[in-house]
Amino acid sequence: MSIKVLLVDDEPGIRLLLNKIISKADGFEVVGECDTMTEAMKLFTTYKPDVVFLDIEIKGTSGLECAKIISDLNPKTKIIFATAHAEYRSEAFEVYAFDYLVKPFNVERVNQTLERVKMLNLKEENQQDASSGMDKIVKYEKGLAKLLVKGKESMSFIDIKEIILVQRENSSTVIYTKHNAFTTSASLGDIEAKLDPDQFIRSHKSYIINISQITKIEPYGRWTYVVKFKDTDKDALITGEKYEEIKMRFS
């Protein structure tokens, strides 16, 4: 299956150049292009691209704001800034950009980025998302070391020690254990407040991870890493800052 790419840039010439480069790269497909955030959101919702090439300046708003919304909708989307403004690298870090290309960029530089995207997608393509029905309340049962996830007609008791990660997905929150996934409308902040900070860490704005379940951490983007866990093919993102924090814990 092709890796789907969305182009968001207010310069038609840049979109044409990127379209030509990407179309010639094996395994990629440009599913849409536009120059405004409104249209970008429509195309993103429709085509669910794996990669978004995004300019810092787009019509009517900042590409950084557009990136924040995309990251909230799907934190695994690889956002690649392609811009003439080199000074926004730090802001791009804050929205977990996969890469930052400064115009004028050459074909080889773009192809290097596409190759890194392809390598990561090969690792991710066999992963399957588990899900359950939407539940509405997460409660910590003191003395039992359990989270209670309460639905309309059911209650699920989750052993906290068995939680591998908690992830924000499509405006919901999913709690993953070895064998199950529990979906709730509670925020990550609500759940984080109920977990032991010595065992769990907010690794990224969209993830909480169980440190004891980590098996490996490896580079994901320029400023982001991916965390692997035992007993699951799910993974999580971690920022460079949190990566250094974990290193300090084990030093």
Asked if 3-124 and 134-249 have one fold, the answer is no
- Per-residue model confidence (pLDDT) at position 148: 81
The pTM of this model reads 0.56
Percent of the chain at pLDDT exceeding 90: 41
User: In which residue are the tokens 């695994």 written?
Assistant: 76
- Report d(CA 200, CA 208) in Å as an integer: 7
Q: Which ranges constitute the DSSP H helices of the chain?
A: 12-24, 37-47, 63-73, 89-94, 107-124, 188-192, 240-249
Residue 29: alpha-carbon gap to chain centroid? 20
How large is the average pLDDT for residues 126-130? 42
- Report d(CA 53, CA 15) in Å as an integer: 9
pLDDT digits 0-9 by tens, 207-243: 999 999 999 999 887 678 999 999 898 999 998 889 9
User: Is a pLDDT exceeding 50 seen at residue 127?
Assistant: no
The residue ranking higher by pLDDT, 72 or 230, is: 230
User: Quick check: 57 and 72 in contact, CB under 8 A?
Assistant: no
- Report d(CA 218, CA 212) in Å as an integer: 17
DSSP string, 108-139: HHHHHHHHHHHHHHHHHTT-------EE-EEE
Residue closest to 50 by CA, chosen among 124, 107, 131: 124
CATH T-level assignment (fold) for domain 3-124: Rossmann fold (3.40.50)
- Report d(CA 109, CA 28) in Å as an integer: 16
- Per-residue model confidence (pLDDT) at position 151: 67
Task: Give residue 4's pLDDT band: very low, low, confident or very high (50, 70, 90).
Answer: very high
In the CATH scheme, what is the code of domain 134-249? 2.40.50.1020
- Per-residue model confidence (pLDDT) at position 84: 82
pLDDT digits 0-9 by tens, 9-52: 999 999 999 999 999 999 999 999 999 999 999 999 999 999 99
- Per-residue model confidence (pLDDT) at position 155: 80
- Per-residue model confidence (pLDDT) at position 212: 93
User: Quick check: 5 and 28 in contact, CB under 8 A?
Assistant: yes
Task: Give residue 93's pLDDT band: very low, low, confident or very high (50, 70, 90).
Answer: low
Mean pLDDT of the chain: 84
Alpha carbons within 13 A on the beta-carbon side of 12: 0
Residue ranges covered by each domain of the chain:
3-124, 134-249
Highest mean pLDDT among 56-60, 186-190, 219-223, 228-232: 228-232
Percent of the chain at pLDDT exceeding 70: 88
